[in-house]
Each structure stands twice: as C-alpha cells, then as structure tokens.
Amino acid sequence: MKKRFALLIGAVGSDTTALFRHLGAHPQVLPCQVAEPHFFTDDRKWALGVEFYRSLWDFREPDERVALEASSDYARHPSVPCPAERIAQMPTGFRFVYLLQDPLARIEAHHALELERGMLRRPLCEEVPAEIVDASRYSAQLDAYANWFPPEDFMLLAQEQLDRDPAAALRRICSFLEIDPYFGFPGLHAGSPAQTPAPGRPGLLQRLRARGTSPAAAAMPRPRTPARLGPEQRARLGEALAADTERLRQHWGFDVSIWQPRSREAA
C-alpha cells in the first residue's frame, strides 16, 4: 500500500467535506473516491480487509501523492468506538488533520446536520443528545488516539482559521503533509472553504441559519426552530466542556483563545 495516507477526522459539523474537496484539487493529493468511507468504523467494511480499502483510490504506479479521505466518525468516541487500533494495524503510515470549531458552535452545526438528515426530531432548544456534546470533547477524542499514534502525527486546525484566511490554512496543511504548500487552490475568495464548498453555495450551517430550519425539519409536524443554543444551554454546556477544553490547551497545545471572542459575543 501507499506509504502516506492523510485522514481528515472531523469534527462533525466543521465542514470537513468541503476541506476534503479543496485539498483534493492539489496535484499531490489523491482523494478517496468516496469522501467518507468510514472504513475503520464500519465493521462490515473493515472485514473486507486492506485490499478493499486500497480499492477506494485510483492508485497508479509510481504514485507519489498523499492518499486522502475524510470520515467524521473517526472522532465521535465514545458513541462510535475510536478506530485508532484498527488504523494502526494498516501496513502504511498515516497523518491526521483534525478540524476543530468553537465547541458550542460545533454542537449547533452538528445538531442542524442531524436534523437535515432526519436523524433527530427534537429541536436544539429542547434537547442536546449526549453523543453530540461528546463530539465537542476534542481532547478526549485525541486522547483515544494517543496510545497508538504520537502527537506529531496530528495537525489541529480551527475552522475559524479557515474562515479568516483559507489560503494560509491550506498552506499549513500542505506543509504538514509534506506537499507543495504554494499550490494555488482554485475557488478561494472571501470567506472559507467551509463557507464555499462549491461556487455560490454557502456552507451547511450558514444555509440552515438563513432558512431557520432544514428540509427534514420542515416536513415534520412541529414549529420551525432555529439551530441556536439558548443562554442557559450555553452556560451549562460551556461548563461541562471546560475541563476538556483546558486539556486541549495544556496537553495538546491548541490555542483555544481563538474561540473566546465568539463566545463572549454569543453569551
């Protein structure tokens, strides 16, 4: 198998798919033919073995490109068991890009996504499922990988950095993957890859906020509800996530201050 694989492991709601599409335009990146194969978290696919996983790319010899895939289930522990042990069994090397977002904003985006998929029926103001909250425990997700991979195999990137300067963020990712960081990615303009996954198409959360609901929610026999956390919810969830966020800062070296202005504004 190829020696270098790159996994975009989430977080859910952070427009990882849009980042996958942008990186896939790089000539030294070989994108998976399925954006989210979930190979390491789907028992049936895992049972098909290494050759099945390899078949998800159009490899050509010799091929010096980085093989890229993006599966948000790879960072949803404990509702989805961490796949680190399975990944470590593969006869190849892996690097991981973990796209993070303000933990509370990510909860809003995740909940909106589940509504759009028809997986949830209760609005955010009524219920925040535990598995959605857990996906914002970023340090806990990384800790689940720590027994199998060293910290230098991970790049942590804030969604907000993509919002502010997508070209600079993509250069950082390319440097981390050891590919040409000065490639001119097409379609970059004001906004971020997350906000512009395709020309003229806003990101998921922006579209849902503009409409105030999702197509799935609109079909349900209940009032339309914006995907917003209320002040009491924000305070409660912020407190519940505080220890994990502090560990993310201290142990994993992530600058969480990028989230503070938004938190103060939304409070």
pTM of the model: 0.81
Q: Which domains does the chain have, with CATH numbers?
A: 4-266 (3.40.50.300)
What sign does the dihedral 92-34-15-193 (CA atoms) show? positive
Is residue 100 within 8 A of residue 157, CB to CB? The reply is yes
Nearest to 37 by CA among 18, 15, 17, 22: 17
Q: Which long-range contacts (CB under 8 A, 24 or more apart) does 38-44 make?
A: 38/71, 38/73, 39/69, 39/71, 40/71, 40/74, 40/83, 40/86, 40/87, 41/71, 41/73, 41/74, 41/80, 41/81, 41/83
pLDDT digits (tens, 9 = 90+) for 190-225: 444 444 333 333 333 343 333 333 333 333 333 334
186: preceding bond cis by omega (within 30 degrees): no
Higher local confidence (pLDDT), 219 or 54? 54
pLDDT digits (tens, 9 = 90+) for 96-145: 999 999 999 888 888 777 777 676 666 666 678 888 899 999 999 999 99
3-class SS of residue 8? strand
Q: Distances from the Cα of 245 to the Cαs of 93, 118, 221, in angstroms?
A: 29, 30, 37
